Amino acid sequence: MADPIETVLQDLGKMRGAAYNDLLRLPAPLPLRNALQVIDGMLGSLETEIRRVQRAVPLPSPQQLDQARDNLITQIAKASPRMVNREIVAQADRALAGLGFDAP
Protein backbone atom coordinates (compact mmCIF):
# COMPACT_ATOMS: atom_id res chain seq x y z
CA MET A 1 0.00 0.00 0.00
CA ALA A 2 1.47 3.36 -1.03
CA ASP A 3 1.84 5.90 1.74
CA PRO A 4 -0.07 8.98 0.49
CA ILE A 5 1.97 11.31 2.69
CA GLU A 6 5.26 9.96 1.34
CA THR A 7 3.91 10.45 -2.20
CA VAL A 8 3.18 14.11 -1.40
CA LEU A 9 6.67 14.53 0.07
CA GLN A 10 8.26 12.99 -3.04
CA ASP A 11 6.28 15.36 -5.27
CA LEU A 12 7.31 18.26 -3.06
CA GLY A 13 10.96 17.20 -3.37
CA LYS A 14 10.65 17.15 -7.17
CA MET A 15 9.14 20.66 -7.14
CA ARG A 16 11.95 21.93 -4.91
CA GLY A 17 14.56 20.33 -7.16
CA ALA A 18 13.06 21.93 -10.27
CA ALA A 19 12.90 25.34 -8.57
CA TYR A 20 16.50 25.01 -7.40
CA ASN A 21 17.70 24.06 -10.90
CA ASP A 22 15.96 27.14 -12.30
CA LEU A 23 17.55 29.20 -9.56
CA LEU A 24 21.04 27.99 -10.51
CA ARG A 25 20.54 29.01 -14.15
CA LEU A 26 19.67 32.60 -13.32
CA PRO A 27 22.32 35.33 -13.26
CA ALA A 28 23.08 36.93 -9.88
CA PRO A 29 20.47 38.91 -7.93
CA LEU A 30 17.33 39.26 -9.92
CA PRO A 31 13.84 39.65 -8.49
CA LEU A 32 12.93 36.24 -9.95
CA ARG A 33 15.94 34.62 -8.28
CA ASN A 34 14.91 36.11 -4.94
CA ALA A 35 11.34 34.91 -5.47
CA LEU A 36 12.57 31.37 -6.21
CA GLN A 37 14.66 31.42 -3.04
CA VAL A 38 11.58 32.44 -1.06
CA ILE A 39 9.52 29.68 -2.72
CA ASP A 40 12.24 27.11 -1.97
CA GLY A 41 12.26 28.22 1.66
CA MET A 42 8.46 27.96 1.86
CA LEU A 43 8.48 24.48 0.33
CA GLY A 44 11.21 23.43 2.76
CA SER A 45 9.13 24.68 5.68
CA LEU A 46 6.07 22.86 4.32
CA GLU A 47 8.02 19.60 4.04
CA THR A 48 9.26 20.01 7.63
CA GLU A 49 5.71 20.59 8.89
CA ILE A 50 4.33 17.59 6.96
CA ARG A 51 7.02 15.33 8.42
CA ARG A 52 6.33 16.70 11.91
CA VAL A 53 2.63 15.92 11.57
CA GLN A 54 3.38 12.51 10.06
CA ARG A 55 5.47 11.59 13.12
CA ALA A 56 2.76 12.85 15.48
CA VAL A 57 -0.17 11.14 13.74
CA PRO A 58 0.76 7.61 12.65
CA LEU A 59 -1.01 6.03 9.70
CA PRO A 60 -3.40 3.18 10.45
CA SER A 61 -1.95 -0.32 10.43
CA PRO A 62 -2.88 -2.75 7.64
CA GLN A 63 -5.11 -4.57 10.15
CA GLN A 64 -6.93 -1.32 10.97
CA LEU A 65 -7.43 -0.65 7.25
CA ASP A 66 -8.77 -4.18 6.74
CA GLN A 67 -11.17 -3.69 9.65
CA ALA A 68 -12.32 -0.34 8.23
CA ARG A 69 -12.86 -2.00 4.84
CA ASP A 70 -14.86 -4.82 6.43
CA ASN A 71 -16.96 -2.27 8.33
CA LEU A 72 -17.63 -0.36 5.10
CA ILE A 73 -18.66 -3.56 3.35
CA THR A 74 -21.06 -4.38 6.20
CA GLN A 75 -22.57 -0.88 6.19
CA ILE A 76 -23.00 -0.86 2.41
CA ALA A 77 -24.57 -4.34 2.48
CA LYS A 78 -27.08 -3.26 5.14
CA ALA A 79 -27.95 -0.04 3.30
CA SER A 80 -28.27 -1.70 -0.12
CA PRO A 81 -29.49 -5.28 0.35
CA ARG A 82 -30.07 -5.77 -3.40
CA MET A 83 -26.42 -5.18 -4.33
CA VAL A 84 -24.38 -8.25 -5.14
CA ASN A 85 -21.25 -8.91 -3.10
CA ARG A 86 -18.73 -7.79 -5.74
CA GLU A 87 -20.52 -4.43 -6.13
CA ILE A 88 -20.41 -3.91 -2.37
CA VAL A 89 -16.69 -4.71 -2.20
CA ALA A 90 -15.99 -2.46 -5.20
CA GLN A 91 -17.87 0.42 -3.56
CA ALA A 92 -15.94 -0.03 -0.30
CA ASP A 93 -12.64 -0.11 -2.20
CA ARG A 94 -13.58 3.10 -4.06
CA ALA A 95 -14.36 4.78 -0.75
CA LEU A 96 -10.94 3.81 0.64
CA ALA A 97 -9.23 4.89 -2.59
CA GLY A 98 -10.92 8.27 -2.21
CA LEU A 99 -9.11 8.59 1.11
CA GLY A 100 -5.79 7.89 -0.60
CA PHE A 101 -5.40 4.21 0.30
CA ASP A 102 -4.81 1.45 -2.23
CA ALA A 103 -7.36 -1.31 -2.43
CA PRO A 104 -6.06 -4.76 -1.41
Q: Where are the domains of the chain?
A: 4-56, 62-98
Q: pLDDT tens digits for 58-104? A: 777 778 878 887 887 787 777 776 666 677 677 777 777 766 666 55
Q: pLDDT tens digits for 54-63? A: 788 777 777 8
Q: In residues, how long is the chain?
A: 104
CA distances from 34 to 20, 27, 29, 39, 93 (A): 11, 11, 7, 9, 46
**CA separation for the pair 70, 49 (Å, rounded):** 33
In angstroms and rounded to an integer, the radius of gyration of the C-alpha atoms of the chain is 21
Which amino acid does the sequence have at 90? Answer: A
